[in-house]
Amino acid sequence: MKNFTSTLFILLISGSVFGQWTSGTILEKLSRYDAEFIDAENILIAGGQAWNSTTSSSNLSSNAYTYNVNTHTWGIQAMSYTRLEPITVRGDSGVYVIGGVSNWNQQPWVLTPTMELYNNGVFTLSSIPFQTIEGNAVAINGKIIVAPGANYWHWYSDAAKTRGNTKLWIYDEASKIWSSRYTVDSRFYSSAVTDGNIAIFAGGLTMDTTQPSSYLDGYSVSDAYEIYDGQTDSWTTGNLPAASARARISACHCNGLFVFAGGATGHLSGSSRINTFDGSNWTSTNLAGSSRAIEDCATAGNKILFSGGGNWNFQLMWGNGNIVSRIDVFDTQDTSFSFMNLDRPLMDFKTPGYGGKAAVIGGTSFPNGSYTQYNTVKVYEDLNWINSIRNNNLLDFTIFPNPNNGFFNLNFNSLKLPHSIVIYNIMGEEIFSNLIKGLSQYSIDISNKAKGIYIIELRDKNNLSIGNRKIIIE
């Protein structure tokens, strides 16, 4: 484990404090990896393209880094396969690393039909019934649902031939069995997002699936979506609002809102479109002064950070033109957008988020046409959200025991007794709610939930927050 000194600075945008950023590094200059929080403090960074400054060359990586967002220290260990553009997702059993390119020295590139499960410092390898790169995945109700990207890639000097994987692949964590369903209009490169109860897969590219295609041959953008209800194990389909067809949409969930931003409407043509879904209704607007296929988004506290990207290059089927340093910040409390900037234009990076924090890791930029990769990790904290969790003590109450096994008691020591209770996981997703109506004691059983940190919020009869606390399920 290697230690680094953190650099602390506060970003001021239009006179208001968004949050706190701290910085650290990892060993390799890295891009085209994937990353996911293991828990509230640690990120798993898997695979990618590693740059060697000494030889001025790059190689596929089989390394996986663990990075602590509080201490800015890292560890490293080997996976079974090299993995360029894999998919990572945190499930009930650990963090899954799915697919990716295992060999780019032959054409077409070799994609591995395997995944590795990371849990307690150990990787476990298993096979999967498909191949994929540059996809997305969600975990919901004991299932991992993969919205894949490409399953064929032949690289030429000035273009690529590729074919999309037009199935959603579904993995049952308990039975370890895969199943699948075809996507609406045979599309791929769709977004994937969940609130823990429902998952939405929206937009993407449609194509003739019989043959690998080249530059814009057979491709068109889609406005279709599928919604999976984890409680009823059922699917519904539909279309995004008018003028919302695009691929490579960046999608995140926060405080009851699913937000779909940016994307590609054609070759080197970005979108400023924003679609918001509140669980019942869709609304649409546009980002101010930004039209691009956003590289990635992450939820941190009450905010969503939509970071980097540019105008997606359909000819290469990888990379962007006119890449940006911009981060659009969506505040779910007042549904407003503001923006901040990274210290450089950036692409080929990920921004995993968990609780009140998000991280921008490595990536690629092209200052003055020079290809440059980075090994920095910049961590963002939503200070307003974190301070509200720590300091909201309008209601005096105790939790016993805490930590606990999911069964615990609340004792209220205030004359202002609560009317209702809501429990959130650290991602801000509601996992329990009930009316209390003035009880001075209340017992709760959420022992069926995963181990981790949860937030209990008490509300008055007007549904206003009067107190919250953190609990830990062990």
Neighbouring C-beta atoms of residue 370, cutoff 10 Å:
7
Average confidence (pLDDT) over 76-84: 97
Could you read off the pLDDT of 116-128 as tens digits, one per residue? 999 999 999 999 9
Q: Give me the pLDDT at residue 224, please.
A: 97
The contacts of residue 285 (CB under 8 Å, 6+ apart) are 274, 276
Three-state SS sequence of 250-283: EEEEECCEEEEECCEEECCEECCEEEEECCCCEE
The helix, strand and coil proportions of the chain, stated in percent and rounded to the nearest 5, come to: 5, 55, 40
Q: Which two tokens stand for residue 290?
A: 């930004």
Q: Give me the pLDDT at residue 5, please.
A: 25
Helix (H, G, I), strand (E, B), or coil: what is residue 384? helix
Average confidence (pLDDT) over 254-267: 94
**Residue that wins the pLDDT comparison between 47 and 440:** 47
Could you read off the pLDDT of 287-334 as tens digits, one per residue? 988 899 999 999 998 899 999 999 998 878 777 888 999 999 999 988
Q: Which two tokens stand for residue 24?
A: 């650290």
The contacts of residue 225 (CB under 8 Å, 6+ apart) are 184, 190, 200, 201, 202, 203, 237, 238, 239, 240
Q: Give me the pLDDT at residue 467, please.
A: 74
d(CA 304, CA 251): 9
Average confidence (pLDDT) over 149-170: 89
The CA angle 401-402-408, to the nearest 5 degrees, is 50
**Phi, psi values for residue 213, rounded to 5°:** -110, 160
Burial of 61 (0-12, 13-18, 19+ CB in 10 A): buried
**Structural domains of the chain ordered from first start:** 8-387 (2.120.10.80), 393-473 (2.60.40.3080)
Q: Which two tokens stand for residue 169?
A: 């692949």
Helix (H, G, I), strand (E, B), or coil: what is residue 383? helix
Average confidence (pLDDT) over 209-231: 81
Q: Give me the pLDDT at residue 299, please.
A: 95
**Residue that wins the pLDDT comparison between 10 and 261:** 261
Contact indicator for 377, 26 with CB cutoff of 8 Å? yes
Q: Give me the pLDDT at residue 457, please.
A: 83
Q: Give me the pLDDT at residue 430, please.
A: 84
Q: Give me the pLDDT at residue 213, please.
A: 65
**Residue that wins the pLDDT comparison between 456 and 175:** 175
Q: Give me the pLDDT at residue 461, please.
A: 72
- Please provide the average confidence, as pLDDT, over all residues in the chain: 87
Q: Give me the pLDDT at residue 414, please.
A: 62
Bridge partners, residue 220, by sequence: 206
Q: Give me the pLDDT at residue 18, please.
A: 53
Q: Which of 156-165, 194-203, 227-236 has the lowest average pLDDT?
A: 156-165
Q: State pTM to two decimals.
A: 0.81
Q: Give me the pLDDT at residue 93, please.
A: 92
The residue to which tokens 């609560």 are assigned: 418
Is pLDDT of 248 > 90? yes
Is pLDDT of 464 > 80? no
Helix (H, G, I), strand (E, B), or coil: what is residue 305? strand
Q: Give me the pLDDT at residue 103, please.
A: 97
Helix (H, G, I), strand (E, B), or coil: what is residue 340? strand
In the structure, what pLDDT confidence band is assigned to residue 458 with cuts at 50, 70 and 90? confident
Could you read off the pLDDT of 8-56 as tens digits, one per residue? 222 323 323 457 899 999 999 999 999 999 988 999 999 999 988 777 7
Give the whole-number percent of the chain exceeding pLDDT 90: 60
Q: Could you tell me the CA-to-CA distances from 116 to 28, 93, 157, 336 in Å, in that order? A: 21, 11, 32, 39
Prior bond to 241 cis, omega within 30?
no
Q: Which two tokens stand for residue 293?
A: 């296929």
Query: At residue 314, what is the residue type?
Result: F
